[in-house]
Structure 1
């Protein structure tokens, strides 16, 4: 089976949940991301590059056909990365074997559910695999610069992707160094990663500077951090010490009105004085004054209570490893009046008649199956990593080590900066059973393993 046919077959499998749903899966945040394509605007609290990536497909065909074209493109990108990862560990395998390996993972984990959701989380797992693929190759190898470029593109669609790239590259290079890669080659790969990350951060900063005259890669980052620290109790203690002394007086004046729940504070589910002053006036000069004030409170809380912050963040990080059920999409409850309906009224019928919004999905069985498979994969990761080290299989070791550390990093970023939601970890939890299956198949196929180890066990170094 030629590689293009394999990718097409995997893409078709990834699309099955959306076909069963009768439309790609949506989320309350979907409108913010697609505002770039549909409203010619740029979200100030989201990475708008996701909408920019899908814009050619969304705008080439009007209404539902454009959305379907976009989701096919999204699934094809993910399928390409999955097949490339399999080819890396199983270089002599036929296409049918690679398809047989990926298809069950796609259908029995959260992979296909995220791959067909109109959210940038769809690309997170693929980004980690792509960063590992790029970091385990010599820069002189054909196609490596293009792979780094693709990594940068996927990194642009979500703020957390920058951190995951860094973790993936560091993990891979540590294993490669132990496996025999030269310091010179390690330095080259580290430089490529640094340039990739710098390019991504610069792109975010440039866009926000051009649109809002706010030269920051995440202009509302302090606001989101404030909401989290306020819910955890760190900000109220900071208020107790600084209000009436050196804390911003306008912020202290509305302190009794600030809801403790971060979701109420940020999204105005209940009356929130900050929602009215920041969210409803995004980009206006007065709103930036409030963003600066809450950022001062958040930063001050962190500086004065690092131990308490570490304790709370550690607990939230651990919670991410027991909260990763699929379909944590807040629909149909909060998806009935998406903003994108104002931009494309011809989407209303298709979205509202989907099984997701008519509550016609068998959520309990889906969560039972995907959760069980994910848990088994998680339990296998560390034993397989131990065996990979014992077998001196450097390539498998680098993949497993990268995924273990990225799972922890993803949980830590979500745990430290946001509430615990299942979708934050479910977007990449499928990597555990995928890697476990891939490595076990690799070890069963002894001839391929020996050939691969002979060629790539040291994370190929320049002769």
Structure 2
């Protein structure tokens, strides 16, 4: 009998290991097919932080060090970490929600791979994969600390801190969720433990300390990652607010942009990253103080127009969900950084399918866009159904968390940077995940539930 039990356990372990490996390969299928990790416009800026030793707008030194750590493996270590973190957090969330069987993990993971941006995010050298995963990590850390082990809590704590340090928008969304939890606690009581909010809050503090320490180590400056005001200036420029401010104030003020007020480009991207007057006046180094001044004073000067622009930008950002923005065959700055600091990888980079223009995101988005938009609508339906029946179960809490994260992300990114598909695609897969969880819980048979309960007391390994 003991031999039979050991044999069954060994068989189960082999099956779980094989399934785990298969799912990891599927999560990295875009990079494997490409022949090199996927690159994006911003990748080079992060990678250069180790080599250049100074701070640049919107490029976290923490994420730069993470890329530097894996560059000797041609960044496959980074992709391996991203895929493992994705699968671990997905299975941990499902386990906490009572869906412990390998079947649920595999089925939901396969649907996410086939219909969402998730494998493309996991295969890319960019912070975006951590933005979505950190929402689930914070959800587990705050809401379900009693259902996970101490080791898992520490791992989630460290992961959330790293994600917060990797991008200011991610930190803003996570901070907003913690504040929302604190405000809702009087009504939800023990469903949002005070100890959980404390864990989540301290993880964000740790992330802020991590970023400040890394900035100091690389640049000898105790400073936050610069660029927020400059990016906000770009959004105001795109909305016509900067042009109005210059028109109203140039007659009485001496600003560097006044002589060019009738020549400013129509979009923030053209101003910041095209061959505009921004380059003529010294880019961020030459214009950052003036852009900050105009952005702050324009908030006071035109509050009504700013509010209208913010509402419009948030709504537009919620609809910008296409996969692949900035991941084309032409990312010149990233190419230049790799050629300058990693010349040994230039051949592999140039030979990749991305650099030969073989990525077809329009075809991919024929699936991804309707799935993302449909999932967000279904998320609202889940919350509406829960409110109607006054039900506050785990799925409802997950749906509420993801909905708040999507809205907070749309507000922060839309208002500060302007609507971009990249900002939506990095989080909308969470809506699809939540809808799949709700459907699985609704249609799970008694036998499925029984199997899950038996697994809780079984020593057979699960994903």
Residues 312-342 of structure 1: CA deviation (Å, up to 9, x unaligned): 1211221123221112225113348442122
Partner of 2:272: 266
Partner of 2:160: 151
Partner of 1:371: 369
Counterparts of 2:451 and 2:196, CA distance in 1? 24
- How far off is 1:108 after superposition? 1.7
> How many corresponding residue pairs?
434
Partner of 2:349: 351
Partner of 1:83: 91
Counterparts of 2:141 and 2:449, CA distance in 1? 20
2:175 is the alignment partner of 1:166: yes
- How far off is 1:173 after superposition? 5.8
Residues 211-250 of structure 1: CA deviation (Å, up to 9, x unaligned): 55665423221211112212211122222333343x4544
Aligned partner of residue 291 in structure 2, secondary structure: helix
* Aligned residues of 1:136 and 1:176 also touching (Cα < 8 A): no
Counterparts of 1:164 and 1:407, CA distance in 2? 9
Deviating more after overlay: 231-240 vs 425-434: 231-240
Aligned partner of residue 118 in structure 1, secondary structure: coil
2:306 is aligned, of 285, 304, 309, to 309
2:195 is aligned, of 188, 191, 194, to 188
Partner of 1:460: none
Change (3 A) 1:159 1:88: same
Query: Pairwise mapping of residues 2-401 of structure 1 onto structure 2 (< 5 A)?
Result: 7-36=20-49, 39=51, 41-45=53-57, 46-59=59-72, 61=73, 66-91=74-99, 93-138=100-145, 142-143=150-151, 144-171=153-180, 178-181=187-190, 186-208=193-215, 215-245=222-252, 247-256=253-262, 258-267=264-273, 269-272=274-277, 274-279=278-283, 287=285, 290-335=287-332, 337-389=335-387, 390=389, 392-401=391-400
Counterparts of 1:86 and 1:186, CA distance in 2? 20
* Aligned residues of 2:141 and 2:199 also touching (Cα < 8 A): no
Counterparts of 2:256 and 2:398, CA distance in 1? 50
* Aligned residues of 2:238 and 2:266 also touching (Cα < 8 A): yes
Change (3 A) 1:191 1:33: same
Counterparts of 2:450 and 2:280, CA distance in 1? 63
Aligned partner of residue 259 in structure 1, secondary structure: coil
- How far off is 1:441 after superposition? 0.8
Deviating more after overlay: 137-146 vs 380-389: 137-146
Counterparts of 2:219 and 2:239, CA distance in 1? 30
Change (3 A) 1:90 1:388: farther
Change (3 A) 1:76 1:236: same
Aligned partner of residue 324 in structure 1, secondary structure: coil
* Aligned residues of 2:61 and 2:215 also touching (Cα < 8 A): no
- How far off is 1:311 after superposition? 1.0
Change (3 A) 1:229 1:215: farther
- How far off is 1:119 after superposition? 0.9
- How far off is 1:162 after superposition? 0.9
- How far off is 1:414 after superposition? 1.6
Change (3 A) 1:233 1:351: same
* Aligned residues of 1:81 and 1:130 also touching (Cα < 8 A): yes
Counterparts of 1:304 and 1:452, CA distance in 2? 59
Q: Which structure 2 segments of 5+ residues have no match?
A: 1-11, 454-463
Aligned partner of residue 160 in structure 1, secondary structure: helix
Aligned partner of residue 75 in structure 2, secondary structure: helix
Change (3 A) 1:86 1:248: farther
Aligned partner of residue 430 in structure 1, secondary structure: helix
Aligned partner of residue 318 in structure 2, secondary structure: coil
* Aligned residues of 1:10 and 1:102 also touching (Cα < 8 A): yes
Change (3 A) 1:378 1:78: same
Change (3 A) 1:18 1:266: same
- How far off is 1:14 after superposition? 0.3
Aligned partner of residue 323 in structure 2, secondary structure: coil
Query: Pairwise mapping of residues 406-417 of structure 1 onto structure 2 (< 5 A)?
Result: 406-417=405-416
* Aligned residues of 2:55 and 2:219 also touching (Cα < 8 A): no
Residues 178-212 of structure 1: CA deviation (Å, up to 9, x unaligned): 45408xx7333333333232332343344445655
Q: Which structure 1 segments of 5+ residues have no match?
A: 454-463
Counterparts of 2:297 and 2:160, CA distance in 1? 35
Counterparts of 2:295 and 2:34, CA distance in 1? 41
